[in-house]
Amino acid sequence: MEQLEEPFLSHSALVALASRLGLEEQHVPHGQDGFSVPPQVNPTLKEAISEEESLRILVGTEGESFPLEEVGTCEAPEQWDFVLVAAHPIQKNPEEKRRLDGFLEELRRKGFDLKEREGQNRVFFGIRADNSIFELYRTLLMEPDSPAPGVPPARPTSVPDTTRIRIVNFILSTMKTAAGDTFENLQNDGIFETKFPLHKGEESLKKNWARWRNLARRQPIDDIRNYFGEKVALYFAWLGWYTYMLVPAALVGLLVFLSGFALFDASQISKEICEAQDILLCPLGHQSRSFQPLSSTCTFAKLTHLFDNEGTVLFAIFMALWATVFLEIWKRQRARVVLHWDLYGWDEDQEEMALQLINCPHYQLRPHQHSYLRSTVILVLSVLMICLMIGMAHLLVVYRVLAAALLGTLPFLENQVTTAVVVTGALVHYLIIVVMTKVNRRVALKLCEFEQPRTFLELERKFTIRFFILQFFAHFSSLIYIAFILGRINGHPGKSTRLAGLWKLEECHLSGCMMDLFVQMAIIMGLKQTLSNCMEYLRPWLAHKFRLMTACARSHRPYDPQLQDWQRNYLLNSVTNFSLFDEFMEMMIQYGFTTIFVAAFPLAPLLALFSNLVEIRLDAVKMVWLQRRLVPRKAKDIGTWLQVLETIGVLAVIANGMVIAFTSEFIPRVVYKYRYGPCRQGNHSAEDCLKGYVNHSLSVFYTKDFQDPVETEGFENVTECRYRDYRNAQDYNFSEQFWFLLAIRLAFVILFEHVALCIKLIAAWYVPDVPQSVKNKVLEEKYRILRDKMGSSSSSSSKSTDV
């Protein structure tokens, strides 16, 4: 029969068409599709189908036509589990050709079918595993792949694509030839370029999930699991639940922020600052030589009140409770999903051993080992890397000091030097994060390889912990400095602490350190949620388009549907074992920004919510349209990431308590209100209880005590200036109010942390990790198995008695 040069109708469409004609599908060898005509079908139709003249039917879908060859003897495209890619053999020397042939021969010996296709400067090898390999997998694990407990598989002989790909990938990655070559060795030597499973059957995901117009649509988690495996499906299930739970957090954070607008002009503190024309602030920074009226900070004082108000404490406690409830309900969601997938009793160590035995029947178990020497070396190197992260934060401090000195010389920035330094410092911090992320990845991976973990799963767990620790310090060290160190070691105007004895250390913003922390958080989160997401999508999209254009320009071979499909998959962006890991790490850092310093930036949950709505579809589009197919991996939870989330929750309680106590003005305001203000000792005053707070919170400095009074502009007309601190006017030592405030701050931190942690513990106890319905189903399944065994045992005993 004459062959048409268009792609054939897919198997699913063929089945649908055959059902319309009344044909029955026959089980034929793998890679073919056969249909027989049942007896009840019209004889005329049977004769028409069996005639020598072929029946061709054009089926159009969305404007495309796919020719269907002879219905009775149709051969669908062969199905392949994996594709290996090598350079063209003409370019290889005999030794490389021998090693390549040795690897392919070892695959044949293990029962793999191979098919070779030559492309432009590439040779593609399609490989398909024999079904005996998968039957051995079933035998070893003694568990069928069924959609739910107690539901038998529809076809006992069929093997899910995810299982096939996972097992074949394991064999390819661990197999050794007689000469001792592995695929990794051959890849490093340039003999093989890559290996990948094929995208096939993803049309439903493309239509219902991986499209931007499905932004608010529910995710098809079961379909994702059936295509990408349980690990990817659990990631999207967790990300979807995290996004859903961000809605109440975002609404409360927005309410706290907007409540500041209600008091934008009514705040007593803002009124006093805006009316303080006669109060002059001491010069700040190295180059500043002018006194500024306190009223010049009026706008920033009002803005600060938007996020530094009485609702901040309640919001921080709410977020501590939110983080706990989010994790506890996620555990319940996970339990339901895992039970639905029949993975509740699945064990990853057993899976690993089964795959090893399938690959090599003589595999010897590798026991757990621990080396104190290796652990000591890794601990020392990890501490050195953490010190490097802290050192990078100190370099950022040096930058801010030098930038303040440099920008202070510019006339148009004379009164906005601090703001300019904060903004540029945040940008530099973002660039440091981008660079150190690449460094931290390499260091964490090398440390894990040095420790020689027993399995890849153990390597992944150790890598997760080490990489997250390094990333945590890279992202949050600068924020920790701003929140708890900035402006607290600077001395006072007459005796300032100087860098290298030359430059004064950076001061907090004139409206307080909360403004610095808010700006830093806003810039870093804004850049990470916008610029990073744009780059995350544009980089693979542009790379894929470039590879497509390059390939089209070079392609001059005759049309081959199978080779074209392999090349299409080859031209997609490559993936690694850590591709999904990167997505998880991105979300963990975002979760840290959303919770750890949320007291200073109540809009963080709102930004995270908008970002995640985009992130879900962005990751879906990448995985389905722009990247090669990820190797499916089995899992029943999100692994070490759950411990990371719980750790972040505890750190968030500590950090927010310290931000409220030491960075915000909450404690000084409360102490003034009940100890020094008009309402002290229970007095009921008609005046605002915070009247006079601004004057009380500013210390006095006499300009005659400046170290360089001649250089200070306006010195002749000004005898005193004010600065933010609690010091005596006589000797500039800390005043009684300072020590009293310090005691109250420390007491508040202890009280806040204990209350918040108790709330977390009560919430964790109140919400069980596993729903009772899940426990009951598992219990019923165990009972059923025991009853079946008992029945079988009774039957055997009765037969032996009869004999």
Which own/partner contact pairs does 762-771 have at CB distance under 8 Å and 24+ positions apart? 763/321, 763/324, 763/325, 763/328, 764/324, 764/328, 767/325, 767/328, 767/329, 767/332, 768/328, 768/332, 769/328, 769/331, 769/332, 769/335, 770/331, 770/332, 770/335, 771/332, 771/335, 771/336
- pLDDT class of 625 with cuts at 50, 70, 90: very high
> Distances in Å between the alpha carbon of 610 and those of 216, 383, 525, 607?
11, 36, 12, 5
Strand partners, 510: none
Q: Lowest-confidence range among 257-271, 692-706, 764-778? A: 257-271
- pLDDT class of 338 with cuts at 50, 70, 90: very high
- Distance from C-alpha of 134 to C-alpha of 360, rounded to nearest angstrom: 14
- pLDDT class of 380 with cuts at 50, 70, 90: very high
Model pLDDT, residue 85: 94
Model pLDDT, residue 468: 93
Model pLDDT, residue 70: 31
**Residue type at position 261:** F
Q: 519 is written with which tokens? A: 């700006």
Model pLDDT, residue 486: 81
What's the mean pLDDT in 16-45? 41
Model pLDDT, residue 404: 73
Model pLDDT, residue 502: 67
Instruction: Name which residue leads in pLDDT, 248 or 310.
Output: 248
- Distance from C-alpha of 629 to C-alpha of 163, rounded to nearest angstrom: 14
Model pLDDT, residue 13: 42
Model pLDDT, residue 21: 39
Q: Any idea what DSSP says for residue 306?
A: H
Half-sphere exposure of 407 (CA within 13 A, CB side): 22
Computed over every residue of the chain, the mean pLDDT equals 80
Strands (E) in 635-734, as ranges, are 698-702, 720-724
Q: Are 285 and 419 in contact (CB under 8 A)?
A: no
Q: Lowest-confidence range among 98-107, 557-566, 611-620, 737-746? A: 557-566
543 Ramachandran zone, left/alpha/beta (phi>0; psi -120 to 50): alpha
Q: 242 is written with which tokens? A: 């995290």
Model pLDDT, residue 289: 60
What's the mean pLDDT in 473-489? 84
What's the mean pLDDT in 414-418? 66
pLDDT digits over 52-64, tens only?
A: 333 332 233 333 3
Instruction: Name which residue leads in pLDDT, 575 or 270.
Output: 575
Crossing angle of helices 311-340/772-802, nearest 10°? 20
> What is the three-class DSSP state of 63?
coil
Strand partners, 699: 723
DSSP 470-525: HHHHHHHHHHHHHHHTTTTSSEETTEE-EETTTEEPPPPPTT-HHHHHHHHHHHHH
> What is the three-class DSSP state of 722?
strand
Strands 698-702 and 720-724: antiparallel
Q: 470 is written with which tokens? A: 């390094």
What's the mean pLDDT in 695-714? 74
> What is the three-class DSSP state of 575?
coil
Residues 6+ apart with CB under 8 A from 802: none
- Distance from C-alpha of 470 to C-alpha of 795, rounded to nearest angstrom: 62
| Residue 659: closest CA among 264, 312, 400 | 312
Q: Lowest-confidence range among 130-144, 209-223, 316-330, 594-608? A: 130-144
DSSP 389-448: HHHHHHHHHHHHHHHHHHHTT-GGGTT-HHHHHHHHHHHHHHHHHHHHHHHHHHHHHHHH
**Residue type at position 477:** S
pLDDT digits over 433-471, tens only?
A: 888 888 999 999 999 989 888 888 888 899 999 999 999
Predicted model pTM: 0.81
Q: 768 is written with which tokens? A: 């069980």
Model pLDDT, residue 710: 46
> Distances in Å between the alpha carbon of 246 and those of 551, 591, 606?
44, 10, 7
Model pLDDT, residue 20: 40
Q: Which of 145-154, 238-247, 473-482 has the highest mean pLDDT?
A: 238-247
